Structure 1
Amino acid sequence: MRLIAHAITPAPRPRVAVRGLRGRPLEWLESAGLGIWSTRWDTAEPLAREDVLDHHRVIEGICAATPCLPVRFGTAFADAAAARATLDRRSDALRDALARVSGRSEIAVTLLWREPSGDSAPRPPVDDAAGPGRRFLEERQARWSASDARRRRAAELVERLVATLAVEPALVRHEICSSERVAVSLAVLSPTDQAPDQIASLRRFLAGLSDVTGVVNGPWPPYTFAGIDESGGVSAGSATRLPGWPPA
């Protein structure tokens, strides 16, 4: 049996009205003024895609009761000693991360280009006398120019989004042009009681954009801001991934 981790919260143990994965008992392990919430799991039992949503349900229930750092789905500890060892070893960083997310929720914004990049790229003039090599170079240069223009536009949209939110840059994570369709992926850490107003402001701003379609999600637990290492998410230290997850 192993422990599938869900979230890290401050001690003492808060009152949490939620069951663990697939309705199983939710366990609390405490050390160094912190606690890990987990579900006991037989390693021979595979995780399913439906368990991702159930993991989210558990985290939402925990975060509704106390500041929490969500743990990446599928992270497992061999036993209680391994879980407590992680709390002991990383207690300072975990407390700093908890202070960062306390009283806040995450809002996610995705901006999608309305037109594929190929449709917006200017076509170079066709020179009938030009050979195929020259035509290839001219078309490639046109594509690069269009790509650069899109990146500049995406960066401008990020600046305007941050201005609309009126938040510190440290409370924003973003990525631009991560795929042909996506202009901006942005997450903001918002005071939970202000999240509805910020979502309304975002939707008003997005309604005035002609070249992108905006999608706003949340508020939800601070997944993007739970990281205490460069890999993103809460590092589990001595934790492992359960066999069979992620699926091939």
Structure 2
Amino acid sequence: MSLVWLYAVRHGGADRPPAGPGVDGERPRLVVEGPLVAVVGTVREEEFDEAALARAMEDLDRIERLARAHHAVIVEAAAEEPTAPLRLATVYRDDEAVARMLRERAAEFAQVLERVRDRQEWGVKVYVDAKPEAPAEEPASSGKPGTAYLLRRRADRDRGAQARERARAVADRIDETLAGVAAAAHRMRPQDARLSGRAQEMVLNATYLVDAEAEEGFRAALAAVEADGATVELTGPWPPFSFATLGES
């Protein structure tokens, strides 16, 4: 028995499926319904039914392999036509179920595909030194040890708050600059320094939907950010994962 794994939906016109391989080692294929084309793969039911996928979610190595294969197929699919990526582990019983979904949600897909036409997603992470500066001098005290300790604690707390405020201001300013060049922006929670592997603090973790013709201006805006003392990590261009979700306006 088999199931149908859904990778993405795109406009018709490019009649060649991605070369793959897909998440189950299969070669992706197409399900055509009117002007829409679903990029799908036939996968084994015993490995990709609801129970099997629930078990897979507990295996980080397998999830990573599935995610990489899923992403690779979408990237290839998006190289030829406007493409709406589907979430990992979107599975249907058969091709007819996929075709029925395309018919029922045709208007939504048309809106999404028009939004991302001739646009690409870029990921931007920005890092700054956000540690509190050392005090120029110790805070004055009455000479009592307890009072001096409390004053130092208060001064340290104030410097930490000021450093965090400066970091937030940098993030807001950079995001505003890049969003002004992009067609749309999506800002996420910055990653913990233990995950980023950097000594600097991540102050911005965002994605931007950029018109193909605006790429040069977007890169120029990034160069200005780096010249201003921040460290920028740029990834992309990618299919518009963050901006092709059904239900967005």
**Aligned residues with identical type, % of pairs:** 19
Q: Which runs of 5+ in 2 are unaligned?
A: 48-55, 57-61, 194-200
Q: Which runs of 5+ in 1 are unaligned?
A: 231-248
Instruction: Please report how far the alpha carbon of residue 41 of structure 1 lies from its aligned counterpart in structure 2 after TM superposition.
Output: 1.0
Spell out, residue by residue over 1:157-188, the C-alpha distance to the aligned partner (whole angstroms, 9 max, x if none): 2122334xx344xx222246554632112222
Aligned to 1:183: 203
Instruction: Please report how far the alpha carbon of residue 102 of structure 1 lies from its aligned counterpart in structure 2 after TM superposition.
Output: 1.0
Root mean square deviation, CA, Å: 3.0
Q: In 2, distance between residues paired with 1:186 and 1:167?
A: 12
Q: CA, structure 1 residues 194+137, in 2 after alignment: closer, same or farther (shift >3 Å)?
A: closer
Q: Is the partner of 1:84 in helix, strand or coil?
A: helix
Tell whether 2:110 aligns with 1:89: no
Where relative contact order (Cα < 8 A, 6+ residues apart) is larger, the structure is: 1
Q: In 1, distance between residues paired with 2:68 and 2:227?
A: 33
Instruction: Please report how far the alpha carbon of residue 67 of structure 1 lies from its aligned counterpart in structure 2 after TM superposition.
Output: 0.8
Tell whether 2:165 aligns with 1:148: yes
Greater helix proportion: 2
Q: Give 1 or 2 for the bigger CA radius of gyration.
A: 2
Aligned to 1:66: 81
Q: In 2, distance between residues paired with 1:134 and 1:86?
A: 65
Q: CA, structure 1 residues 122+24, in 2 after alignment: closer, same or farther (shift >3 Å)?
A: same
Aligned to 1:57: 72
Q: TM-score, normalised by structure 1?
A: 0.74
Q: In 2, distance between residues paired with 1:36 and 1:25?
A: 14
Q: CA, structure 1 residues 112+132, in 2 after alignment: closer, same or farther (shift >3 Å)?
A: same
Kept after mapping to 2: 8 A contact 1:110/1:214: yes
Q: TM-score, normalised by structure 2?
A: 0.73
Q: Which moved more, 1:52-61 or 1:11-20?
A: 11-20
Q: In 2, distance between residues paired with 1:75 and 1:121?
A: 49
What is the 5 A alignment of 1:231-242? none
Aligned to 2:239: 221
Spell out, residue by residue over 1:15-58, the C-alpha distance to the aligned partner (whole angstroms, 9 max, x if none): 34523405522122233532221111113336552232222221
Instruction: Please report how far the alpha carbon of residue 148 of structure 1 lies from its aligned counterpart in structure 2 after TM superposition.
Output: 2.8
Q: In 2, distance between residues paired with 1:192 and 1:201?
A: 14
Aligned to 1:236: none
Kept after mapping to 1: 8 A contact 2:14/2:81: no
Instruction: Please report how far the alpha carbon of residue 155 of structure 1 lies from its aligned counterpart in structure 2 after TM superposition.
Output: 0.5
Q: Which moved more, 1:90-99 or 1:132-141?
A: 132-141
